[in-house]
Amino acid sequence: MKYAILAAGEGSRLAEEGVQLPKPLVRLCGEPMIDRLIRVFTQCGASEIDIIVNDLHASTLEHLSEVSEQNPLVRFKVKSTPSSMHSFFELMPMLGEGKFCLTTVDTIFREEEFQEFISQFEQSEADGMMAVTDFVDDEKPLYISTDAGLRITGFHDIGGGCQFISGGIYCLSDMAFPTLVRCIEAGKSRMRNFQRQLIEDGLRLVAYPFSKILDVDHASDIPKAEAFLRGL
């Protein structure tokens, strides 16, 4: 199965708060965030790891050039995009046919939970499986409603009794690509609008609960993420 990393964001909030490294290279427990994902995906048996980064930081490009020389699974594309959904669209030709897992570069999770998530998706007949959590530490969480069998029934900006929020890890198949193309053609943006369209188009999406998933958007998130990874 292929894996994809969205790393084309500017990381402006981190920079404004004094973090000098571009977001993909921010270290957690001594390891750059993008290297952590590459390592985890490789351990999960990735057949290919496709990455999109912007053209704003030469250090990121240099780093990925070195990584791709050492790890033949890694391929990357350089392009600045207006949203994560547009970044996904740019990676679509690289992902090709079949199943894949897509995530943003700053998604922090427990590795053992992720491995089980991937195993469940590989065995699943669903069109997609979304990582969810009941831990809310996000400025604008995307709430997810499900039925009793954890089939996703909607994506919401307001909770309204929803148990889970999106964890920002998306396992999908190439069946999602026509929806993505239509979203781009319609001028839609943001991954949450794409996910809503998947439901409207009748794709069967199921939720997979994680105990906790964090994002690194602010400087204060770095020590939180490190403590989480250390099990504190």
pLDDT surpassing 90 at residue 160: no
Closest alpha carbon to 193 in 83, 76, 77, 32: 83
Closest by CA to 80, choosing from 183, 13, 170, 7, is 7
Enumerate the H helices of 96-232 as residue ranges: 111-123, 177-185, 191-200, 221-229
- Assign 143 to helix, strand or coil: strand
Q: How far is CA 70 from the centre of its chain?
A: 23
* Element (DSSP H or E) covering residue 60: helix 58-70
pLDDT at 83: 93
What is the mean pLDDT of the segment spanning 195-221? 96
Question: Could you tell me which of 92, 99, 97 has the C-alpha nearest to residue 77?
Answer: 92
Token pair 């400025």 is at which residue?
Answer: 139
Q: Return all residues near 162 (Cβ < 8 A) that are at least 6 apart.
A: 143, 144, 145, 156
pLDDT value for 139: 79
pLDDT in tens, 174-188: 999 999 999 999 999
The band of 104, judged by pLDDT with boundaries at 50, 70 and 90, is very high
Q: Are 213 and 109 in contact (CB under 8 A)?
A: yes
Q: What angle do CA 156, 161, 162 make, to 5 degrees?
A: 50
Token pair, residue 123, equals 């065995």
β-partners of residue 207 are 130
DSSP string, 111-142: HHHHHHHHHHHHH--SSEEEEEES----SS--
pLDDT-derived band at 15 (thresholds 50, 70, 90) equals confident
Q: What is the pLDDT confidence band of residue 54, given thresholds at 50, 70 and 90?
A: very high
Q: Which tops the pLDDT comparison, 56 or 38?
A: 38
Nearest to 228 by CA among 122, 124, 137: 137
Tell me if 132 sits within 8 A of 113, measured CB to CB. Answer: no
